[in-house]
Amino acid sequence: MTIVVFLGSLLLAMALGIPIAYALLVSGVALMWHLGNFDAQILAQNLLEGANSFPLLAVPFFMLAGEIMNVGGLSRRIVQMAMTLVGHVRGGLGYVTILAACLMAALSGSAVADTAALAALLLPMMVRAGHDKARAGGLIASAGIIAPIIPPSIGFVIFGVAANVSISKLFLAGIVPGLLMGVSIALTWWWVARRDGSAPAPRATSAERWKALRESTWALVLPVIVLVGLKFGVFTPTEAAVVAAVYALFVSTVIYRELKLPQLLAVFVTAAKTTAVIMFLVAAAMVSAWLITVAQIPAQMVSLLQPFLDNPTLLLIVIMLLVMAVGTAMDMTPTILILTPVLMPVIKAAGIDPVYFGVLFIMNNAIGLVTPPVGTVLNVVAGVGRMKMDEVTRGVVPFMCAQFAVMFLLVLFPPLVTVPAKWFAG
């Protein structure tokens, strides 16, 4: 009955158009009434404690780093470097998009920020080259969602806090799965773009390639600093976020000199607004998480999934299908915050590595960003490219299917995640 009360109140609030953060609070109040222990003071205390977390400080700094990179010219230089490397092959702009997305994912960790930059820079170029606009938009959307998988990742930070799992281990475990997502959409792009008659860009000269590499070196150094620092314990993920933001600010203002002092306020305000939305969601979800624990909903879920506990692979397939269904109607952050406290006891009872599960879970949620009807990243591409939502949806389908295939491949073959993760972690 407690599960019905919680889910019923949450879904009803969302159906009424209440923002998801407030809907979480409504479901928390409903659960407290059902349990007979409503107390506004406890509600407020859990709301404040939900955001009072040192690891969550990584969120505003990674968001700030992403905004600075887009305004300060780091993203543009990465795209230009990718263009000189693979822009001349058939369908080259598509490969430029994928390569640039993987590199930018190692800078910001925000799917929305990376997708907006890629769409603004590459979508007009792809259309002028003769590519179908819907297909190009779908490729950019699917490339943008690599950002939550390749470290640094805001999704991993939120999951790590909610599940009490090492964020550093999640970061290092996400490298290979993120690259596999890129390979999957590259193969799909090769298949769908071979007969579209687009005109490849002229082959860049050695001098042009060297110039693009030289100009992008400052941007490419950042992911190396973050990954090496995490691997050798130089700094924590939260400190890595601060390093990323300060480094991006230094490069944008002193080296590239594209970010001017009058622009700084707007950049900080944009990052602060996005952070405020995420942090309020986290705080509201922590209220629900506490009540979920008090109501013993995780124990009920363990009992419900008891027949699958002896077969971890089958259990993961069931959970992944559940998350896929939720991802069609809910954004990434609330899905992580709502499902994590419910699913983690099940994962632990089945003896599944929490880091391995975290990678699959965040990957599934990332793909949910391009699944209609909600599809936050689809909306970003539609808005930047001035396209209809159904056009972007049509274009993203083959790439989305390829990424789901990679996800289930990792479910069937866990060493693809666990072995590289152990190697990177030393």
- Does 15 fall in a domain? yes
Pair (242, 160) in one structural domain: yes
Report how far residue 51's alpha carbon sits from residue 152's, in angstroms, rounded to the nearest whole number: 20
- Does 335 fall in a domain? yes
Q: Could you give the percent of the chain with pLDDT greater than 70?
A: 96
pLDDT interval class at 43 (50, 70, 90): confident
pLDDT interval class at 249 (50, 70, 90): very high
- Beta-carbon count within 10 A of 214 CB: 11
Cis peptide upstream of residue 398 (ω within 30 degrees of 0): no
- Does 47 fall in a domain? no
Pair (4, 85) in one structural domain: no
CB 59 within 8 A of CB 158: yes
Measured between alpha carbons, how far apart are the two ends of the chain, in Å? 46
- Does 45 fall in a domain? no
* Positive or negative torsion for Cα 225, 227, 233, 236: positive
- Does 27 fall in a domain? yes
Pair (14, 73) in one structural domain: no
- Does 44 fall in a domain? no
Pair (183, 95) in one structural domain: yes
Domain that holds residue 327: 54-425
- Does 48 fall in a domain? no
Pair (2, 124) in one structural domain: no
Is the pLDDT at 231 greater than 80? The verdict is no
What is the domain count for the chain?
2
- Does 49 fall in a domain? no
Pair (18, 84) in one structural domain: no
Pair (208, 342) in one structural domain: yes
145 to 196, 369, 381: CA distances (angstroms): 25, 7, 12
Pair (100, 1) in one structural domain: no
Pair (359, 279) in one structural domain: yes
pLDDT at 3: 67
Pair (10, 119) in one structural domain: no
Pair (85, 17) in one structural domain: no
- pLDDT, tens digit, for every residue of 118-175? 888 888 888 888 888 999 999 999 999 999 999 888 899 999 988 989 998 999 999 9
- pLDDT, tens digit, for every residue of 375-411? 788 888 888 888 888 889 899 999 999 999 999 999 9
Pair (28, 68) in one structural domain: no
